[in-house]
Amino acid sequence: MNTVKDIPCLVLGIGNILWADEGFGVRAVEQFNSKYALTDVNNLVADGGTLGMYLFDRICRTENLLVFDCCDFHGAPGELTVLRNDDIRIWTSTKISPHQDGMNDLLAAAMLRGCEPKEIAVVGFQPVLLDDYGGSLSQKAKDVIPQAVADGYHILREWDVGVRERSENETVPALMDAECLNIKNYEEGRPTPEEACREGDIRFAHLNVKRSE
C-alpha cells in the first residue's frame, strides 16, 4: 500500500516528562525548536510525547526521521550517542518505559505497510535518573542537551534538509499548548517533598509503619 511521502523530514522528540530523564527527548526537541527552524514548510518539528501509534500517519508520510529520545543503548549513564541503521535495533528492542512499546509497533507497522522512512537517526541519551516521578531532568541530561541539538543539526545538514538559526527576536512557535509544562514552569511548580511524597503515596507508607509496630 503506497503512502504519499509529503513530509520530507520529521524532527521528533519522544518521552514522558513526568519521569525525570525519560523526558529527555521532549526537552531536547524543545531546545532544537527554540534554536533552529526548518526552511521547507513541509518539514515538521514535533513533540511526540508518549503518543505512540497516534504518530503512525506522520511516520508513514516521512522520508527522513530524526528522533531525540532517552533510551537504553547499554552505555554509561549520562552518555549521548547517535544511532543509525543497524544501531536502531538497539533503540527499538530495549524497553525502558511505556512509550517505547509504541515506537516499536509504529516502526514495525510502517515497515509492513512498506512506508517506513528512508533514513532514521536517533540522538539518544542513556538515562541517569528515572525513578523520580514528577521530577525534571537530571543535571547531566540538561548539560548534554546543547550537544544533542548540535548533533541533530548536523544530521539534518547531512540529509540536505534546510535549517536556519532563529534570529534573536524571533517568535518561536510552541510545540505544546500547556504553558505549565515548559521546563521552567514545570520545575518551579513542583510540590515540596512534604506536599508530595517522592517514594509513593505517603498514606500507604504510614499505614505500613503502623502495621509493623
Residue numbers in the known binding site for Ni(2+) are: 22, 69, 99
CA 104 to the chain's CA centroid: 14
Q: Which parts are annotated binding residues?
A: 22, 69, 99
- Report the alpha-carbon distance of residue 35 to residue 153 in Å, rounded: 10
Name the region of 114 (left: φ>0; alpha: ψ -120 to 50; beta: rest). left
Instruction: Output the CA torsion sign for 168, 150, 48, 162.
Output: positive
> CA nearest 161: which of 32, 23, 57, 55?
32
Cβ atoms 71, 96 nearer than 8 A: yes
Write out the E strands in 74-162.
Answer: 80-84, 119-125
Cβ atoms 50, 106 nearer than 8 A: no
Reading the block at residue 114, the C-alpha cell is 512498506
CA atoms within 13 A on the CB side of 101: 2
